[in-house]
Amino acid sequence: MEKNTVVVFGATGRTGRLIVEELLKRNFQVRAVTRSVSAAAFVQKEGLQSVEGDLASVASLERIMQGAQFAISAIGSKKPFSKRENDKIDNRGNQNIAKAAKAQGIQHLVVVSSIGVGNSKYAIGFLLRMLMNPVLRMKEKSEEFISTCGINYTIVRPGGLKDTDPGGGIAFGEGGRISGSVSRRQIAKVCVDALTTASMKNRTFEVVDAATVKDEVRPFLITVE
């Protein structure tokens, strides 16, 4: 069994790649899961292994997780307005990851969701909520399953994802009131922190850049240590 091995789903995405980078920086062993190994496009690095996985097959996901201690899911539909694709990836894909993680005794599962899901639905504007409703509903279904299936988890709900840093520190909310934007690198850091931070276990957080939080909701910010 490899010590401190993390299986990363969605590893080739813009956030997933940064999660892999952050894990390697902290000396974790990483299994980067892709739809095909040939499409992984990862430069070979010490501690990094690319593996092929099928989100529709729990048995396939179980094999990938054998011997690992942790898992992070940064998967997301590339067709946000397709109910079928949203269900396949954002809902059933994450549910299958959780099922496999539980079967393999994964110590902690971190899942990237979105502000606008569940009790945070009113944290985003009405028009955006209506536009993104198909994917937000599927993410909500997966959140509900993950939080009740009996595995240790952290659900991370990013605000509007940016490739550049908005310029503030990382701000946390819990309870659905916080909104703002956040850099993908900040989310990567939070995901890796959550693996081993006891106070983040079995909780769902809204995560944004502190510089983008409106004054009226600042009283609802929380401290995570």
pLDDT tens-digit map of 110-150: 999 999 999 999 999 999 888 889 999 999 999 999 999 99
Q: What is the pLDDT of residue 78?
A: 84
Alpha-carbon torsion (71, 28, 206, 219), positive or negative: positive
Q: What is the CATH number of the domain that holds 33?
A: 3.40.50.720
Distance CA 68, CA 177 (A): 35
Distance CA 203, CA 185 (A): 21
Q: What is the pLDDT of residue 176?
A: 95
pLDDT tens-digit profile of 53-75?
999 999 999 999 999 999 999 99
Return mean pLDDT, the chain: 93
Q: What is the pLDDT of residue 46?
A: 82
Beta bridge partners of 156: 112, 205
Distance CA 213, CA 115 (A): 13
Which helix H or strand E contains 79, and what residues bound it?
none
Q: How many domains does the chain have?
A: 1
Q: What is the pLDDT of residue 1?
A: 45
Question: How many of the other CB atoms lie within 10 Å of CB of 105?
Answer: 12
Closest by Cα among 26, 22, 199 to 108: 199
Q: What is the pLDDT of residue 135?
A: 93
Segments of the chain with pLDDT less than 50? 1
Distance CA 144, CA 75 (A): 17
Distance CA 93, CA 56 (A): 6
Distance CA 80, CA 78 (A): 6
Q: Find the Cα–Cα–Cα–Cα dihedral 46, 50, 55, 56, rounded to 10°.
A: -140
Spatial neighbors of 175 by CB under 8 A, at least 6 apart, are: 119, 220
Spatial neighbors of 186 by CB under 8 A, at least 6 apart, are: 165, 170, 207, 209
Alpha-carbon torsion (119, 83, 157, 96), positive or negative: positive
* Domain residue limits at 69: 5-222
Beta bridge partners of 130: none
Share above pLDDT 70 across residues of the chain, in percent, rounded to a whole number: 95
Alpha-carbon torsion (103, 92, 120, 218), positive or negative: positive
Closest by Cα among 177, 137, 161 to 209: 161
